[in-house]
Amino acid sequence: MSTIFTKIVKGEIPSYKIAETEKFYAFLDINPLAKGHTLVIPKLETDYIFDIEDEDIAEMIVFAKKIGLAMEANIPCKRIGMAVLGLEVPHAHIHLIPINTVYDIDFKQPKLKLESAEFEAIADSIKTTFELNN
Ligand code: AMP
């Protein structure tokens, strides 16, 4: 059975999409630790990130870097933190999270509840910058 993220890539489940390439897809985390919290995933369903081929994981990180820079331009923060857990969804993903302190990337913190319009506005702003710069 497909993962929830494969269903997102195929458009079977909606997402607040930021950008995609032939191999990767970036979209807002639905339970964000901070405004702009983004997930970068491979389109090829792979559970464990370290099972991704060397060339592809390198490309995935470069894609994540470009997304992170577009986030930084739109979300006030000290920097963008990167984390990989993969304990919940068995489809590799990099978390990109705007942070000011170490506590902002603590996954035990309560998640933000945002309205759909706010998710859309955040995704649109990051997407616009990403498209301008790439
Ligand atoms: P983890 O596997 O522990 O890295 O966590 C999976 C992440 O995926 C969590 O932060 C969830 O909020 C996020 N997530 C799960 N389902 C969705 C979805 N349909 N759209 C966006 N993010 C999701």
Would you list the DSSP string of 84-107? ---SSSSS--EEEEEESSGGGG-T
Residue-wise burial string across 61-75, b where 16 or more C-beta atoms lie within 10 A, e elsewhere: eebbebbbebbbebb
* Atom of ligand 1 minimally distant from the CA of 33: 10
Is the confidence at residue 126, as pLDDT, over 90? yes
Is the Cα dihedral 59, 88, 26, 45 positive or negative? positive
* Mean pLDDT, residues 89-103: 98
pLDDT for residue 1 is more than 90: no
18: part of which helix (H) or strand (E)? strand 17-20
- Model confidence at 3, pLDDT cuts 50, 70, 90, reads very high
CA of 44 relative to ligand 1 center, distance in Å: 17
Query: Rounded to the nearest 5°, which phi and psi values hold at 119?
Result: -55, -45
Give the per-residue pLDDT at 67: 98
| Ligand 1 atom, smallest distance to 86 CA | 2
Fold designation for 4-133: HIT family, subunit A (3.30.428)
Rounded to the nearest angstrom, the distance between the alpha carbon of 68 and the centre of ligand 1 is 18
The catalytic residue positions are 93
- CB contact set of 71 (below 8 Å; sequence gap of 6+): 36, 38, 80, 96, 98, 126
Residue ranges of domains in the chain: 4-133
Mean pLDDT, residues 91-119: 97
Query: pLDDT tens digit string along 24-75?
Result: 999 999 999 999 999 999 999 999 999 999 999 999 999 999 999 999 999 9
Where does ligand 1 bind, in terms of residues with CB under 6 Å?
4, 13, 15, 29-31, 39, 85-89, 93
